[in-house]
């Protein structure tokens, strides 16, 4: 399938690139509405899927809910159990660690996500 950069796709992408947080599809749609962009929820889902499949955005599952991330580079996450915010942190595992896991278990790692649970500085105050 050919990649087409539609106006709606650009609008969805711009929302995620402009925020330093992870959003559900519904939250992306709310951000679009705040900026007077009229896009249906099915269009938002379709474009999020397409952007993720083309490695333009990241996606993480939290409690069975997909959260979309404007940072497509490999990274891990910190999750605050009190306020629910998710923060990006550099990846902990490197290629050597993954290769050792693959060799030991005879398993091909295609993708992984690491989320550290805890309490952020704001909530500790």
Tens-digit pLDDT string for the chain (125 aa)? 455 678 899 999 999 997 888 999 999 999 999 988 888 899 999 999 999 999 899 998 888 899 999 988 888 999 999 998 899 999 888 889 899 999 999 999 887 878 899 999 999 98
For residue 40 the two structure tokens come to: 């249906």
> Is residue 1 in a domain?
no
Domain with 86 in it: what CATH number? 3.30.1490.190
Of the CA atoms within 13 Å of residue 121, those in its CB half-sphere come to 1
Where in the sequence is the domain holding 85, given as residue range(s)? 75-124
pLDDT score, position 2: 53
Q: Domain ends where: 22, 52, 69? A: 69
Number of domains in the chain: 2
CATH number at residue 27: 1.10.10.10
62 and 16 within one domain: yes
CA nearest to 112, candidates 122, 125, 99, 98: 98
* Per-residue pLDDT at 1: 46
- Domain co-membership, 59 together with 97: no
């Amino acid at each position: 399938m050919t990649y087409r950069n539609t106006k709606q796709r650009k609008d969805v992408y711009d929302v995620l690139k402009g925020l330093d947080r992870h959003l559900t599809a519904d939250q992306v749609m709310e951000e679009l509405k705040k900026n007077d962009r009229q896009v249906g929820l099915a269009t938002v889902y379709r474009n999020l899927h397409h952007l993720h499949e083309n490695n333009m955005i990241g996606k993480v599952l939290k409690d069975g809910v997909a959260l979309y991330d404007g940072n497509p580079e490999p990274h891990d996450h910190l999750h605050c159990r009190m306020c629910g915010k998710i923060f990006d942190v550099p990846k902990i595992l490197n290629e050597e660690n993954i290769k050792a896991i693959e060799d030991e278990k005879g398993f091909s790692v295609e993708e992984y996500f690491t989320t550290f649970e805890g309490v952020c500085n704001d909530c500790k105050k």
